[in-house]
Amino acid sequence: MAAVAGPVPKPTAETLRGIADSFGFKMEPKDEAAYLKLLQDDSAIIDYVAGLTEYRDSRLDPGTEERKYAQPPASENPLNAWSHRTEIKPTGTGPLSGKTVAVKDNICVAGLPLTGGTQPYHLSKDKPYPISDIDAPVIARVLEAGGTIAGTSTCENYCMSAMSFTSATGPVDNPWLKGYECGGSSSGSGALVGIKCIRKWKEKKGEKVEDDGLGEGADFALGGDQGGSIRLPSAYSGIYGLKPTHGLVPYTGIAALHPMIDHCGPMAGSVRDVALLLSVIAGYDGIDPRMTPQTPLRSQVPAYADLLDSAIAARTSAGDWTPTTAARGMRIGLIKEAWEVPNLSAEVASAVSRAGERFRELGGTVDVINIPLHRDGAAIWTAATHAHMADTFLANEAPTLLSHPLPGLAPPSPDQKWYDTMTAANPAVVSVLLHGAHLRSPGRFPAAARAKAVMHVHQLRAAYDAALEKYDVLITPVNPTVGWRHPAGGEGVLEKLEMALGNTKNTMPFNATGHPGLVIPVGWGKVEDGEGRLPVGMQMIGKRFGEEKLLLAAAAWEVGGLGWDN
């Protein structure tokens, strides 16, 4: 299969003059002739390489077994949380044996469409959606560990929304209360795990779990997170979700937004299940340039669930796993600036403050701390990433470091029809496209501005690192309010974007700095425009590659009771 359909037109003298004019160059005729020959030679080389048979890394080979899929009817998908259903059987046995896994629909699963949550023909000129011919490493690892891939989960349009109403297939409902937001962009993943959590919670309370109208859920889910897209759906849906340390889990075979902020991680129904899935998917893959010398080889990945069990057993044996001792020796810092984000409701602010203070009751040390640069974290994230974000996903442009671009994606250039569709569905995507073009326009925005923003990422990382030398865990709110009712439709550009105002202020900074962020449910809040309550989540931040301690702190918090029971 050829990667490019046809040759690029041969450069002419007019082509060269246009390029030279854009730089303000004036060429002598003899120089023009020489540079034209060099330009044409380079163009011929590009044509030659473009015509080579397309290569696939054998490490991403899914094997030869046929895979079938189907879009579930609405009657079997009442929350609109499934994108496509399948049943890909495991290739081995292990910790996920007998468990089902939902996969965010921006992750390559061979034989299944990749939709990215967007409309048909947005990711491919030739077919409604490209069919993946590789398995992302996280998929192969799930199957090797005994997991069954039950389907792909609905995600938000181009994975660029913190809310759950932008997908091409319609809004994804909160499993606790239909018609309300469940957060994005891994919205379907959060809702599907939430279905299982609700049933587990009801069984614990002795309630009968009959036909609840929620459809079939999943035991585990894989999510992606560039600005909060694992943590926000986890908070809104009342489940557990981890954005791992940047580079701990391979991002190969997953639609990217920007290599600095791309993360893939586990979403599950308990702290231990998060630990279990993390052990399965973490570790060096030999392909992803996001990985660093700190990334463990597969054989050296910690057995996070076993380590958690051992730590709990040791503390229990010592009498230190009680409602007054479980957090003994743990130092907890509540970031004061995290309670200053826009739209943070008094109810959510209070719930997370009380949750943080619980560590004191559990025997830990709790302080309110100042990290002033946290206020600028989301702005730094924006300035450091927006110039190239549209090129990465909208155009499938390969990063400058050696990587494995997604095969099969051939998105057409945005046109008027695309603009009209996206302005109605998710204007954030149009905004990113326009912003990126503006930032790259010669003379409008100096390249030094992005370079300066990247240096501020280092400054922000250093600020969190300094706090984490004094504290084991940092605490912030996640969702500033509980889920809102889905918009009725017809809202303007600013109205749509204002619905998510403040949602990512406490999540984006840690995408840029790479620190792990774990969300657990800690309570409930009243919905503003109706009857009922929806979950509130708490974000726990740890040292980079310090997931083990983060998971133990979360388990210790739950010795005082589950957040669902508050």
The H-assigned helical ranges of 145-288 are 187-204, 231-237, 271-281
Q: In what order do the strands lie in the sheet with 264-268?
A: 82-88, 148-153, 100-104, 220-224, 264-268, 240-243, 517-526, 533-541, 473-477, 331-335, 365-369
Residue entry with tokens 């990113």? 432
Residue pair 187/196 in contact by the 8 Å Cβ criterion? no
Q: Per DSSP, which regions of 195-274 are E strands?
A: 220-224, 240-243, 264-268
Residue 431, helix vs strand vs coil = helix
Which sign, positive or negative, has the C-alpha torsion 231, 223, 428, 447? positive
Identify any residues that bridge with 59 across adjacent strands, giving them in sequence order.
none
Q: Give the integer Cα–Cα distance in Å for 183 and 390.
A: 22
Marked catalytic residue, from 167, 189, 229, 345: 229
CA distance 476 to 469: 17
Concerning whether 104 is annotated as a catalytic residue, the answer is yes
Q: Of the residues 132, 185, 186, 237, which is catalytic?
A: 185
Angle at 240 between CA 237 and CA 244, to 5 degrees: 125
Catalytic residue of the set 99, 104, 243, 543: 104
Amino acid sitting at position 235: A
Which residue has 């990063």 as its token pair? 399
Query: Helix, strand, or coil here: 235?
Result: helix
234 is annotated as an active-site residue: no
Cα separation, 565 vs 521, whole angstroms:
10
CB within 8 Å of 516: residues ≥ 6 apart: 242, 243, 244, 245, 248, 510, 541, 542, 543, 544, 545, 546, 547, 550
Within 13 Å of residue 540, how many CA atoms lie on the same side as its CB?
30
185 has catalytic annotation: yes
Six token digits for residue 311: 């730590």
Contact status, residue 351 vs residue 313, Cβ threshold 8 Å: no
Helices (H), 395-487: 416-425, 427-440, 447-470
**Residue corresponding to tokens 């490019």:** 4
Q: Which residues are catalytic?
A: 104, 185, 229
